[in-house]
């Protein structure tokens, strides 16, 4: 199903139609991800990692405080589980 169309400029840029921006809840400056699936390219919003993501992931693990390294690792795992390379 075609939702909308856009043209590629001579500088290889595309202006995303407002319909798409609203549908993906995107705003200027938001990061996006392009993923190839079954011969098509999909555009997805790259959700920002939040503290809520960390809390959900490690909710029942332990009462001890997480180190900076543990927090970095949790962020990386969260990112890779969302957008597998």
Residue 10: pLDDT band with limits 50, 70, 90: very high
Q: What is the pTM of this model?
A: 0.45
Same domain, 85 and 67: yes
Same domain, 54 and 80: yes
Same domain, 41 and 55: no
Please, are residues 44 and 33 in contact by the beta-carbon 8 Å criterion? Answer: yes
The two most distant CA atoms of the chain are separated, in Å, by 55
Residue 13: pLDDT band with limits 50, 70, 90: very high
Same domain, 15 and 26: yes
Same domain, 22 and 61: no
Same domain, 1 and 16: yes
Structural domain including 19 reads 1-46
* Proportion of the chain in helix, strand, coil states, percent, rounded to 5: 35, 15, 50
Among 54, 31, 57, 55, CA closest to 44: 31
Please, are residues 34 and 42 in contact by the beta-carbon 8 Å criterion? Answer: yes
Predicted pLDDT of residue 83: 63
How many domains does the chain divide into?
2
């Amino acid at each position: 199903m075609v939702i909308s169309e856009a043209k590629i400029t001579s500088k290889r840029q595309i202006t995303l139609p407002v319909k798409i921006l609203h549908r993906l809840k995107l705003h200027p400056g938001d990061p996006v991800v392009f993923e190839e699936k079954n011969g098509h390219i999909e555009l997805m919003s790259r959700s920002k990692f939040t503290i809520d993501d960390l809390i959900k992931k490690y909710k029942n693990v332990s009462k001890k405080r997480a180190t900076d390294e543990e927090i970095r690792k949790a962020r990386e795992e969260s990112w890779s589980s969302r957008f597998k390379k």
